Structure 1
């Protein structure tokens, strides 16, 4: 947490200065969120002094809190810009131009001098980076990074979503220069420093379109009948060194972003797809967790350290699934043995308190222009679960190993991946709702909650209420995050957990590799800024998820445009006071049925405890999980919004009908 800065005295009065994050409202009023304060500091538009939404700033208090009011302040300094790149429309004059940003709360136009105009023309869409914002100048100064093709609306929309979320579209020149200087091949002397695993049977299992292979599995049967199973992870930390431009850019991004038609990588492609990618038939540097295990999936011993591997084969998930189902294929005995062990690990995990939410992934089929032409639903199969269980085992083992180490009698600062217990209020509401379907949750303790959750999910499997219970159950859960405070991972049922297995696409994994290496070498340098870095990674992970959701929503709208006026069977996926959302069964695209349209047929009220809206006259009820038939009436790409209308007629319940037909008796003398 940020510490409160010392009070500074001036000749006229005593001022307090705080460090916090700016949050700008739609009205233009802003607040600085300070972790150590119970109330945010109010900052008027005129006192923002170039600070933008999301910036980290120093704010001086100019008015003290009165009674229960809040403090008012003025921004003294912008410490870190949350966002430096913006998309918008160019207004080009003879010797200069302005970029009028598309989005951003009260973002001023960006001045672009003549030497930065390139071949820009008036009215062009462009991506501009702020390079200066002087104290005297009220306008930021920028340079054009890219002229955007306005004719390709989908490509432009994807880029705008990324920039809007704070992810730069390209890497700075100094980062690309550093990357280009990394030599090809294995560095001299590295082989002698590492465990040589190149003769071991090693292979990768990834999606068919993957290019960045950051994990591999090795398998050896030992003379004593035990198995030696290695989880080998790309040694990104060997190439991305602390303090370099490459490292700073990776930390700033914190994660790769996966949109329906592209990947915005955390690291330049030369590293992610070439130097570090564990491609078949190439020697690669790795950081490994190697386990000695028996047929019961018990870990007899483990080893952590730097290795060198040579992948013999590249599997897709479909390849491995075929081997599991048919028993035949390349290295079938090894694959089947690994799957048998993974099954046991998975069962033990759920037996020990992990929560078994089923996952369903929806992907778009795209044509050569990126336009969606179909929907593919992918379910987690045993091939996916095989890799998942061994990655979980490696992550858990690394975290538990570091958790035992002490420096000056204190735990080593380490970026754990944690997941808190469920929100009690949400859980209580969900428990009441589940009881209506005949399911009971034991809320006595976190352990009994997990056990009864799994029993509920298993009992509901295949029943009409399965989807709604899974959806609402997930909403009761806390969000996983990165922190040095090791509270464990509730959802996985692990006391110690971290992210070790994907350093190509997650920066916390890079930090884990570095700290683990220090621990193994006995040369530990505690990072006092680690908690702040964890918070940043958690925040960027949320930003990436928001960008992915926005991009998926855009593609949904783009896909459903062809079905205007057509009807679909759907399931109510969410309910609010202003209507309910419906996800179509066939296309998996979600749209809103507005309560305004329903009001033409009846008067409705929102029942929060029932996750439903109910008709006051007909008694018609629309509850999350119910099946309905809807018609596509609007598809707004600019707003990324689908609107549906209810097709079916409202049916009065017997109870509602009796209320409607009941004659009211008046007492004598009582007037209307």
Structure 2
């Protein structure tokens, strides 16, 4: 017997193929007459995402208006149209809180049919969206903002690299490329203005694994390259989040779901200030703007990587941004973005907070009705606490996944020798960053297998004197990298010092670096 349950009358149904194993069948979606809101299918909308992205939750457009101004739109997948308050999907998504991205796979917050198909803003198909549309002049000053439910038809799903090539190719002048160039030009102005107000531009090394198709073992590892188009998308997502935050707070001052980034206590900056002082660089931390300005001018002759290292250290000093209910807190400021108010609106496929924000915004513009839990500040606050917890746990899982795949990557490579920089100094070790792999590792000097050298740790520096050589933050070193699998349950990446050469401490460099072996099939 087949039991059918309607998820959405126009698009899909539950089909009980067996008594215990339901499968969700999808009908093609068509909107001959737009009843969802505004019909924006004629606009040249496109998405720009990382390669391989299937859960496309944002798209953009830019066009010139008759009055000479520009219309810019951010179109976000309307997940809240399908996930209604209190249903089974809603309860499960609220509990999960976020999609967890691991190396080569993800644990979705919502079913794949929604995340990668029905809600995903794929190209050349009609999709429901929630749009934030601005009228701007050519100096990126906002003249008018409006929000609307909409139906869009994305004209292209591009990667960052593909979008960048279109912008740079002077022979291309089609509608999509013209739209991208307009967006890119405005984004640069928005970014400059945001930085002038004190927004921080920090740094962290993210890596991407290339997997062997048959075993899913990592065969290559590289740090992610950022392009202008990364910044272009980021600027309009930030602007949409700020615009929506102000709107929902104006309408619902007691129950808006917002996001804040607390200012740092002065003690958090201690390691950053000491590190900068060791290179005769002065860092001011009186305000976010003072810090941003200091980082912009922080340079050391013949050390081009210094500024990046300093920004990585600054990132480590930061506190975690958190969700909160506006009726339960009075400090709304987002320190890192230098914004008085902020929320998350742009990724409802992978973040439950965005679904709540969509519901609040829909009520604010009269596109949907409210429900009791949405207006209860205590329940909103409890939900925010769970979302903060789930977000933190997802970060831990992602780091563990990267660490595990890094071990797999080095497992077949024997011993490598690479250059790196000292990022932290400890009483018995130095922590080394390898920029090539985005990898951090610890070089211990008091190992059990040999007599410990003479160690003198100066916390004020901070410096660690090993025999006659003193290590400081930012020192350039050369190390060996290998996988220690002596304990099969606790395998770990091990680093040993090659250069500087310290007798009795340093190890000789490997004569030949082995090549990666092709993973064997598990038959």
Partner deviation per Cα, 1:392-415 (whole Å, 9 max, x = no partner):
110010001122235xxxx13122
Partners of 2:276 and 2:282 within 8 A in 1: yes
Matched, 1:396 2:247: no
Residue of structure 2 equivalent to 1:580: 430
Report deviation, 1:182.
7.8
CA distance in 1, matches of 2:272, 2:300: 16
Partners of 2:441 and 2:495 within 8 A in 1: yes
Matched, 1:478 2:319: yes
Alignment of 1:11-410 (within 5 A): 180=24, 185=29, 191-329=34-172, 330=174, 331-368=176-213, 369-406=215-252
CA distance in 2, matches of 1:221, 1:395: 23
RMSD over aligned Cα atoms: 2.7
Residue of structure 1 equivalent to 2:439: 589
Partner deviation per Cα, 1:624-661 (whole Å, 9 max, x = no partner):
32221222354346335211221235559xxxxxxxxx
CA distance in 1, matches of 2:364, 2:300: 45
Report deviation, 1:328.
3.9
Matched, 1:507 2:348: no
Report deviation, 1:188.
9.5
Secondary structure of the residue aligned to 2:442 is strand
Report deviation, 1:240.
0.7
**Match 2:473 to one of 614, 624, 627:** 624
Q: 1:649 to 1:217 in 2, by over 3 A?
A: closer
Q: 1:572 to 1:213 in 2, by over 3 A?
A: same
Report deviation, 1:603.
1.8
CA distance in 1, matches of 2:21, 2:254: 33
Partner deviation per Cα, 1:31-86 (whole Å, 9 max, x = no partner):
xxxxxxxxxxxxxxxxxxxxxxxxxxxxxxxxxxxxxxxxxxxxxxxxxxxxxxxx
CA distance in 2, matches of 1:460, 1:289: 45
Partners of 1:597 and 1:645 within 8 A in 2: no
CA distance in 2, matches of 1:461, 1:251: 51
Residue of structure 2 equivalent to 1:96: none
Q: Which runs of 5+ in 1 are unaligned?
A: 1-172, 653-672
Q: Single out whichever of 252-261 and 435-444 deviates more from structure 2.
A: 435-444
Secondary structure of the residue aligned to 1:210 is coil
Q: 1:614 to 1:648 in 2, by over 3 A?
A: same
Partners of 2:423 and 2:473 within 8 A in 1: yes
Secondary structure of the residue aligned to 2:320 is coil
Partners of 2:423 and 2:433 within 8 A in 1: yes
Q: Single out whichever of 426-435 and 218-227 deviates more from structure 2.
A: 426-435
Residue of structure 1 equivalent to 2:337: 492
CA distance in 2, matches of 1:321, 1:505: 25
CA distance in 2, matches of 1:320, 1:445: 36
Alignment of 1:487-566 (within 5 A): 487-521=332-366, 525-527=374-376, 528-566=378-416
Partner deviation per Cα, 1:568-596 (whole Å, 9 max, x = no partner):
22222333334223233443333321231
Report deviation, 1:509.
0.5
Report deviation, 1:176.
8.7
Q: 1:446 to 1:382 in 2, by over 3 A?
A: closer
**Match 2:254 to one of 370, 388, 412:** 412
Secondary structure of the residue aligned to 1:180 is strand
**Match 1:614 to one of 438, 460, 465:** 465
Partners of 2:422 and 2:431 within 8 A in 1: yes
Report deviation, 1:186.
5.1
Partner deviation per Cα, 1:230-263 (whole Å, 9 max, x = no partner):
1000000010111111111111111111111111
Alignment of 1:422-433 (within 5 A): 422-433=264-275
Partner deviation per Cα, 1:272-329 (whole Å, 9 max, x = no partner):
1111011111111111100101110111101012111111122221111112333344
Q: 1:284 to 1:575 in 2, by over 3 A?
A: same
Partners of 2:295 and 2:307 within 8 A in 1: no
Secondary structure of the residue aligned to 1:577 is coil
Q: 1:312 to 1:567 in 2, by over 3 A?
A: closer
Matched, 1:641 2:486: no
Residue of structure 1 equivalent to 2:283: 441
Partners of 2:209 and 2:221 within 8 A in 1: yes
Pairs aligned (count):
471
Report deviation, 1:541.
0.9
Matched, 1:463 2:304: yes
Work out which structure has the larger RCO, using CA pairs closer than 8 Å and 6 or more positions apart in sequence: 2
Q: Which runs of 5+ in 2 are unaligned?
A: 1-17, 504-523
Alignment of 1:650-669 (within 5 A): 650=501
Secondary structure of the residue aligned to 1:321 is helix
CA distance in 2, matches of 1:310, 1:208: 20
**Match 1:568 to one of 418, 423, 426:** 418
CA distance in 2, matches of 1:495, 1:302: 18
TM-score by length of 2: 0.83
Secondary structure of the residue aligned to 1:255 is coil
Residue of structure 1 equivalent to 2:515: none
Residue of structure 1 equivalent to 2:512: none
Residue of structure 2 equivalent to 1:664: none
CA distance in 1, matches of 2:83, 2:438: 40
